[in-house]
Amino acid sequence: MMEKTVWIWNHYATNMIKDRAGRHYSFAENLRKRGYNPIIFCASTNHFSNENIDITNKKYRVDTVDNITFVIVKTPAYLGNAKKRLVNMISFYKNIFPVAKEYAKKYGKPDVILASSVHPLTLIAGIKIAKKFSIPCLCEVRDLWPESIVAYGGLKRTSLIAKMLYRGEKWIYKKADKLIFTMEGGSDYIIERGWNTQKGGPVDLKKVYHINNGVDREAFNDSQKFYQFEDEDLDNEQTFKVIYTGSIRLVNHVKTIVDAAQVVEKKAVSKIVFLIYGDGSDRKNLVAYCKENNISNVVFKGYVDKNKIPYVLSKSNLNIIHFEDNQIKKYGASLNKLFEYFASGKPTVSDCEFGYDLIKRYNSGIVVDHADAKQLAKTIIQFSEMPPHEYKHYCQNAIKAAADYDYQRLTEKLIELI
């Protein structure tokens, strides 16, 4: 077959250059293996750190990592989620038009564009440029804008800005040649908005698909072997290790996990220890809180490189997911860490039941919806006292889930749509 060129647009794929991992990096790797020519377009600013890629006086630069081409579009630096981030988004949108035109003139136009949110401007640009090139545009929705902002209280549903954003979202869903949602309930959302053709709306549900996030099991297992390190808490085989990985900000509500640890400690279950990997603005407060309240079974391990997470999770006895309850969880979730948890082959406890809940579907752990600290503690103790054969069953189910959501399989789904 002729080699098809696929442009993958993800404003925030910049961190993938350093991490050599992530959804679109894995897609690109697997597309290459199957004879495609994937090219990732991203911003010069890294949303996840203060590191920015120098473009000098040009509009863009081209880098190659593991034979994957990255086109890095010049965007202004910013910190946090303030107005400068909005300026950064608009800048990426405006700059990608001349960059796409220039790159296509130099290297040839693509056969298809896969434009991925988080923010919708990337999708709008993808649709417009695909039309100019007379090629299809697949729009990938990884976050519901503005529904997510409304759910977290950032916007009132009835506000003028929200109404404008909903109109823009509807336009995207109408114009996209195909829609890919990472959450399984994307069709449910469209139906609830009344945008599907059966309700007189412009969106044909036949063009709506679902491709979840997942895990590259081969890379996960390689990292587990190659990036081992000594750590007395991880290496202690006498303890039952409950592990959380991720950001530690107020929005993550990691304090609920700390409170659960305190309940466990009060029940004198001394062998259970909570290891929290990650960093964020709330970490110092929680460290101080543990000190003030004599909570000694929680250890804040700080930030670790992404490539060390597989080794950390290999030492886990139980992984923990905490998520703030909100109105969008019914559409499903596609949390990256969940698939790493699956790949670790260890059970997961979650205090939030999502629509299309994968932990429940695979019986790879226990989900206690709306769990408070006491309920969470009770479930953790239950796992620590579980008979070996029952515990092993959860572990086997986690491995089965990881196999089903391996990026090799997910890429096959993407190729069908391409």
Mean pLDDT of the chain: 94
Q: pLDDT band at 3, cuts 50/70/90?
A: confident
Backbone dihedral region of 262: left (phi > 0), alpha (psi from -120 to 50 degrees) or beta? alpha
Domain boundaries of the chain, sorted by first residue: 5-214+407-417, 217-404
Q: pLDDT band at 152, cuts 50/70/90?
A: confident
> Is residue 1 pLDDT above 60, yes or no?
no
What pLDDT was estimated at residue 327?
A: 87
What pLDDT was estimated at residue 268?
A: 80
| pLDDT tens, residue by residue, 32-81 | 999 999 999 999 998 777 778 888 889 999 999 999 999 999 999 887 67
Q: Determine the average pLDDT of the residues in 100-115.
A: 97
Q: Which single residue is written with the structure tokens 């202690």?
A: 236
Which residues fall within 8 angstroms of residue 51, CB to CB, at 6 or more apart?
18
Burial of residue 414 (CB within 10 Å: 0-12, 13-18, 19+) is: buried
Confirm if 290 and 276 have CB atoms less than 8 A apart: no
Confirm if 113 and 129 have CB atoms less than 8 A apart: yes
Per cent of the chain over pLDDT 90 is 85
Higher pLDDT, 53 or 138: 138
> Is residue 130 pLDDT above 60, yes or no?
yes
Q: pLDDT band at 118, cuts 50/70/90?
A: confident
Collapsing DSSP states into helix, strand and coil, what is residue 409?
A: helix
Strands 68-73 and 112-116: unpaired
Confirm if 340 and 220 have CB atoms less than 8 A apart: yes
What pLDDT was estimated at residue 2?
A: 60
Q: Determine the average pLDDT of the residues in 21-31.
A: 96
Collapsing DSSP states into helix, strand and coil, what is residue 416?
A: helix
Query: Is 5-214+407-417 CATH 3.40.50.2000?
Result: yes
> Is residue 29 pLDDT above 60, yes or no?
yes
Token readout for 123 is 């999708």
Rg (the chain; Cα; Å)? 22
What pLDDT was estimated at residue 100?
A: 98
Confirm if 366 and 347 have CB atoms less than 8 A apart: yes
Nearest to 351 by CA among 250, 253, 223: 253
Between 336-343 and 388-404, two packed helices, what is the crossing angle to 10 degrees?
Answer: 130
CATH topology of domain 217-404: Rossmann fold (3.40.50)
Q: CA-to-CA distance for 351 and 232, rounded, in angstroms?
A: 28
Alpha carbon of 219 to those of 81, 262, 340: distances in Å? 31, 36, 11
What pLDDT was estimated at residue 300?
A: 97
What pLDDT was estimated at residue 46?
A: 85
Q: Determine the average pLDDT of the residues in 164-177.
A: 97
| pLDDT tens, residue by residue, 347-404 | 999 999 999 999 999 999 999 999 999 999 999 999 999 999 999 999 999 999 999 9
> Is residue 411 pLDDT above 60, yes or no?
yes
What pLDDT was estimated at residue 144?
A: 92
